[in-house]
Structure formats: structure tokens, C-alpha cells
Structure 1
Amino acid sequence: MKNLLFRTWNPLLRTWNLLFRNLMRRKSEWKISDLENEETKERRVKEKKDARQIEAEEQIAVIEAWESFQYVRAFLLLIQSFFRKYILLPSFIITKNLFRILLFQWPEWFEDWEQWKREIHLKCAYTGVPSSENEFPRIGS
């Protein structure tokens, strides 16, 4: 039964197949008008301009964010410098000398405090150029 149906439908399928192939070839041979090509070119150019504008706006936003970040960075560096000089290092000196006492060694209080007094922290501009010890670097330098 299946074979009989296939035999009857096979010639019809072949003719339909040939007919549709010919129709498809004719459609593919049609050319797109120049107006459509110009419109697509204009659209592409416009999209590229929009993409460039969006990219430029994003770069400006990043630059502005970094400018505001410099103030936060400077503040954090000052806090870190103060914490290290007046809290962390003295606690290390005290701890070190207490352990030396517990190990029956001579403590080095005087040498450690002299080195602590000689420690300085340089204030630098954003570019890394050191400035005066008494003044903060000016904005924009």
C-alpha cells in the first residue's frame, strides 16, 4: 500500500519540485534597487556614528569617575599613613620588645623609637612626583 502511494505521488512531487526550483531561481535573480542600497548604507553610517557617540560618552563618564576617585584615594592614603605611623608601628615595637623580654633578651626600646621618629611619609602628586614636606600637592599638578 505504501509503495503504491509513493508511485502515484512521486511524479507529482517531481513536477512540484522542478516548478518551485524555477520560481526560486527567478526570485534570486532579481536585483535590489539602488534606493534600498543607499538606505542601508545610510543606516549603517548612522549606526556607526551613534556607536561612536555612545563610546565617547562612556569614556567621558569613566574620566569623570576617576577624577572624583582621586579625592577618595588621597583621603584613604592619608588615613593609612596616620594609622601606620601612630598605631601600627608603635604596637609592633611594643610587642617586639615584650617578646624580647620574655625570651630573656635585652629590649631595644631606644633604637626602635629612634627609627620610628626618623620615618617620614612623602606626599606626592597623582603622577608620583614628590612635593614639599609641609604642603599638600596642588590639584591639577
Structure 2
Amino acid sequence: MKIEATINNKKIQMEVANDEFLVDALRRYGYSSVKRGCDTGCCGLCTVWINERPTLSCSTLAPTVQGKQITTIEGLQEEAKEFASFLVKEGAEQCGFCSPGFVMTVLAMKRELEKPTEEEIQHYLVGNLCRCTGYAGQLRAIKKYLEV
């Protein structure tokens, strides 16, 4: 089936199957930052924004995004670069596999929450799995980034 969506501010038509997940359609159309990780909606690697809300694309059927706005990290390069510098300064960037989904979640949090507490930050990040860090450096980086 053909669907039309706006991806990173560009209207595109995609050919998708009725049972195809958004993560697979996006990767097929060249959005390689969107990664498949756990296939259970638990790791956050596949996070994109649908109508500006962080959403797991591995549990979203592609046909359901008809007419919607989708944002991947490719569409937020400046913001992502800014936050990445905070991660680097705190020694919180490791292998980078989880980074696109993690960064998408943090950028959404910055837009949604005003002066979140540490508990609110941790709650917002539930479901973002990083196998390399102990999250302490990431938490420091997020706090400093949110102060800007």
C-alpha cells in the first residue's frame, strides 16, 4: 500500500506492507539511524518522533503513519550535535549503538519537560538501553544539557 508522510520536513510516499513495522520501512528508505535492537519495544534504539512525540518504531505499523510527521535524528542534526558534545565532555559516549534513539528521547524530553528533577529524567529514559555505560555519565550530561 502507498502511504504519504512527512519525514524530516519532506513529504514522501512510501510503499509499505500492511504488517510492516515503521523501523523496517524507514531503514528501507535510507534512514539508517533508526535501528532494530530488541524487537520487543524495550531498548529504545528505534525511537523516532511521530507528530513530535517519541515513539518506538519497532512496535508501530508503517501504515499507521499515513499523513503524520516523522522525525529521525537525521532531521535534528544540530540539536543532536549539541547534546553529543555534552556526552563527550562527561565521558558518557561509548560504542554509539544506542545513541540515535537515546538522543531522540533526550531531545524530546528537553522540549516537553521544564526543569525536570533527576527522578523525572530517569523516568523519561525508562526503556532506553545502553550496554556500555553505567548511566552516571549520561545523567550528568543530560542535567548539564538541560540547564542550557
Range class of TM-score, shorter chain = under 0.3
Greater gyration radius: 1
**Between Structure 1 and Structure 2, which shows a larger proportion of helix residues?**
1
Query: Which of 1 and 2 has higher RCO (CA within 8 Å, sep 6+)?
Result: 2
